[in-house]
Amino acid sequence: MSIDLRAGPPLQRQAARTIFEKSVPGRRAFSCPDTEVDDFEIAELIPAHARRAQPPRLPEVSEPELVRHYVGVSKRNYDLDSGFYPLGSCTMKHNPRLHERAAALPGHSRLHPLQDEQDAQGALELMWNLQEALGEISGLPHVSLQPAAGSHGELAGVLVTRAYHEARGEHRTKVLTPDTAHGTNPATVTMAGMEVVKVATGADGDVDIDDLRAKADSDVACLMLTNPNTLGLFDPNIEEIARIIHDVGATLYYDGANLNAVMGISRPGDMGFDIVHFNLHKSFTQPHGGGGPGAGPIAVSDRVAPFLPRPVVAREDDGGFMLDDERPQSIGRLRGFQGNYGCFVRSYAYIRSLGAEGLLDASETAVLNANYLLARLRERGVAEYLPLAYGELCMHEFVLSGGPMKRELQIKTLDLAKRLLDYGYHPPTVYFPLLVDEALMIEPTETETKETLDAFADAVAAILAEAAEDAAIVQAAPYSTPVRRLDEAAAAKRPVIRQAF
């Protein structure tokens, strides 16, 4: 037998077969004791419409095969537990294992969503406390935990804004979004049936105030803004921006997916924002990126509070907790039950174990780490080919432009990203924000060590040196991964998930 080494390491090739392809009739990973109730009686307990004519086709494998299969599959991917993952805008910070233990406690993990409120007081109290904490962190006191993702929170926020204007007898149709906005912002606006109006970015990377003034009129429902923006810059004109927007009767929406630079330092509510969404699966350590479901709660100011999704968790006069459904102006429900409860437990554990001081420290360290890495890359001579796109310093992330690298070394940002995989790193975000030529967006987070940041800077410098010698080496990377270069658009739109590589 000959082994085709080009097809990747043998273990990875083995994992490329599906668990169904490994199935052999009669093999079992475990055995259940016989039930004393016969099959017919069990079947009778299941309503007729929910019964299957045939049992489901399940893979039949032994326990070692089962374990090897899933361990093998997990090794075909890159994950935060394996190495540095500086994916800008995604805040891939370490997820403390303590949070998993808290979420796995039977009182949390076995809670049924239809459980009576009186029997779920502990869970409701946790949710209420989380609402209070997010209200305090954002400076916006009214919170809904319902949305299941950042983009779902955006949709909730835009629908709340629309309901607010309609309750005042106004039909506003436009939403302003800067050209640095995350792609979900314009997508959300379109989904909510409103019109996206782009606002330009000035030469310094901040909102172009003249352009904003020209576009802010009485048709505008809100401005959606990220601050710090996706260039990693804090907009110093935020109070002026808030004035312009409020003067035309619109609301100000804060895309708070990335609160990592500002926790305990500045608050959207104090900057003049009316609505914010949080990604608990970024700043607040809920695992994400295939690692778990997300949660995108929103917090709002007094004037838009009546329109929040319902129910919200409320505290009663006697100190008990309940789901408040009596909200006549609410935009209604956004999903079944109360949200992704496990995310609430993990994020609450994070907030309580760090406390106010700890959250502040996390943000300061995130900003320090990003600026350290930026300085270290400059020191390694990288700026000649990958200069900072805007400004001199950054907040929790920064965006380099690979334009000079492409012109002088004939490698694109995508080539550099692919070669980083061979060096053992997950690539940073590429080609976003769109206004930066050959963008490379790097977010190290606060949970990485100086040694890791130094080694990453060395790797980028080494790849540039390789390209200076022979661009083809970098252009053909990666060499060490289970798959080489994919047709990325086709892989996203028509994934072939069963093919053995």
Ligand X SMILES: Cc1ncc(COP(=O)(O)O)c(C=O)c1O
Query: Which residue's structure tokens are 């190495």?
Result: 83
Site track 179-218 with ligand X (rule: CB under 6 A), x = hit:
---x-x----------------------------------
257 is a site residue for ligand X (CB under 6 A): yes
Residue with smaller CB distance to ligand X, 403 or 433: 433
With a CB cutoff of 8 Å and minimum separation 6, the contacts of 300 are: 140, 142, 143, 157, 160, 274, 275, 276, 307, 308
255 is a site residue for ligand X (CB under 6 A): yes
- Of positions 15, 61, 87, 90, contacts ligand X by CB under 6 A: 90
Query: Which residue's structure tokens are 């606060």?
Result: 446
149 is a site residue for ligand X (CB under 6 A): yes
Q: Which stretch binds ligand X (CB under 6 A): 253-261, 263-271, 308-316, 331-339?
A: 253-261
Residue with smaller CB distance to ligand X, 151 or 301: 151
Helix (H, G, I), strand (E, B) or coil at 399: strand
We find the least distance from the C-beta atom of residue 290 to ligand X, in angstroms, to be 12
- Of positions 177, 260, 279, 285, contacts ligand X by CB under 6 A: 279
258 is a site residue for ligand X (CB under 6 A): yes
Give the dihedral sign, CA 130/136/141/145.
Answer: negative
Q: Are 205 and 226 in contact (CB under 8 A)?
A: no
Give the footprint of ligand X on residues 291-350 (CB under 6 A): 294, 296
We find the least distance from the C-beta atom of residue 418 to ligand X, in angstroms, to be 21
Residue 201 gets which letter from DSSP? B
- CA angle 151–157–162, rounded 5-degree value: 130
Q: Which helix (H) or strand (E) holds 131?
A: helix 121-138
Residue with smaller CB distance to ligand X, 172 or 182: 182
**Chain position whose Cβ is nearest to ligand X:** 150
Residue 328, beta-bridge partner list: none
103 is a site residue for ligand X (CB under 6 A): no
We find the least distance from the C-beta atom of residue 296 to ligand X, in angstroms, to be 6
We find the least distance from the C-beta atom of residue 411 to ligand X, in angstroms, to be 26
We find the least distance from the C-beta atom of residue 294 to ligand X, in angstroms, to be 5
80 is a site residue for ligand X (CB under 6 A): no
413 is a site residue for ligand X (CB under 6 A): no
- Of positions 95, 151, 177, 251, contacts ligand X by CB under 6 A: 151
150 is a site residue for ligand X (CB under 6 A): yes
Q: Are 237 and 150 in contact (CB under 8 A)?
A: no
- CA angle 113–114–115, rounded 5-degree value: 95
Residue with smaller CB distance to ligand X, 255 or 438: 255
260 is a site residue for ligand X (CB under 6 A): no
Q: How many CB atoms lie within 10 A of CB 272?
A: 18
- Picking from 82, 72, 136, 69, the residue whose alpha carbon sits closest to that of residue 482 is 72
* Beta pairing class for 429-430 and 439-442: antiparallel
- Of positions 226, 340, 363, 401, contacts ligand X by CB under 6 A: 226
We find the least distance from the C-beta atom of residue 71 to ligand X, in angstroms, to be 28
The 251-256 sheet, strands edge to edge: 142-144, 298-300, 275-278, 251-256, 220-225, 174-178, 195-199
Q: Which stretch binds ligand X (CB under 6 A): 251-259, 300-308, 371-379, 485-493?
A: 251-259
Residue with smaller CB distance to ligand X, 278 or 385: 278
Q: Which stretch binds ligand X (CB under 6 A): 10-18, 252-260, 267-275, 359-367?
A: 252-260
DSSP string covering 24-44, please?
-TT--S--PPPPSS-HHHHHH
Residue 104 and residue 106: Cα distance in Å, rounded?
6
**Binding region for ligand X (CB under 6 A):** 89-90, 149-151, 182, 184, 226, 255, 257-258, 279, 294, 296
